[in-house]
Amino acid sequence: MSDHSLSTAFYFLLKRDLTLSIRRRAEAVNPLLFFVIVITLFPLGVGARPQLLQAIAPGVIWVAALLATMLSLDSMFRSDFEDGSLEQLLLSAHPVSVLVLAKVGAHWLVTGAPLMLVAPLLAALLGLPSQGMLTLLITLLLGTPVLSLIGAIGVALTVGLRRGGIILSLLVLPLYVPILIFASNAVELAATGISVTPQLSLLAALLALALTLAPLPTAAALRISLS
């Protein structure tokens, strides 16, 4: 199969998923709203002490990002599974792992990337110093795609199950721990003015690893779920 037709397939699949998200705008906004609400709950829960909120801000934002991504994962393959499009993907002339990348890419653009738009505002509400804002954005840029990529493995394993969403969190959240640790630490240190190149490099390495490795078990898991 020529590279041209593989990239055509990638393009049309990406375009299809983005078009679907645009046409169902209301659903696409839900994870973002969830992100905002969860972060808002923390001051209500722990008290509005500025120093406390500032200390927990990086962790809170990142945990909220994890949970918001988790909630949105199910939509990655669910409707394709139900209307028969997923079968067609597995029966295509192109490698499934590349098609999976297109779907994960569309998912990230719709659910992960918007978090970057809103996060600085919410971070300011929690009192994160402006020194940390850029690092916050960089960690989200590097980290949220990894969340989508690893999450895709979990969704692929559970898409055929009736109540797969419940198990999905158990499967995926332990795998998210490293990203959470490196990202929130990076933001915390950056807020105090310390250089965080090591942490960001680690996040970039995790992203590279996830981009190359994650689509393969995802494709295998999709085949298993559809058999």
Which residues of this chain interact with another protein, rule CB under 8 A? 1, 5, 8-9, 11-13, 16, 19-20, 23-24, 79, 82-85, 87-95, 99, 153, 157-158, 160-161, 163-164, 167, 170-171, 173-175, 177-178, 181-182, 185, 206, 213, 217, 220-221, 223-227
Q: Closest distance between another protein and the C-beta of residue 40, in Å? A: 26
Nearer of residues 68 and 180 to another protein, judged by Cβ:
180
Nearer of residues 46 and 170 to another protein, judged by Cβ:
170
Q: Closest distance between another protein and the C-beta of residue 37, in Å? A: 25
Q: Closest distance between another protein and the C-beta of residue 44, in Å? A: 25
How many CB atoms within 10 Å of residue 174? 9
Q: Closest distance between another protein and the C-beta of residue 4, in Å? A: 10
Long-range pairs, 199-207, Cβ under 8 A, ≥24: 200/135, 200/138, 200/139, 200/142, 203/139, 203/142, 203/143, 203/146, 203/179, 204/142, 206/142, 206/143, 206/146, 206/178, 206/179, 206/182, 207/142, 207/143, 207/145, 207/146
Task: Give the closest residue to 187 by CA, choosing from 112, 130, 149.
Answer: 130
Nearer of residues 119 and 188 to another protein, judged by Cβ:
188
Nearer of residues 140 and 149 to another protein, judged by Cβ:
149
Task: Give the closest residue to 94 by CA, choosing from 14, 215, 9, 211.
Answer: 9
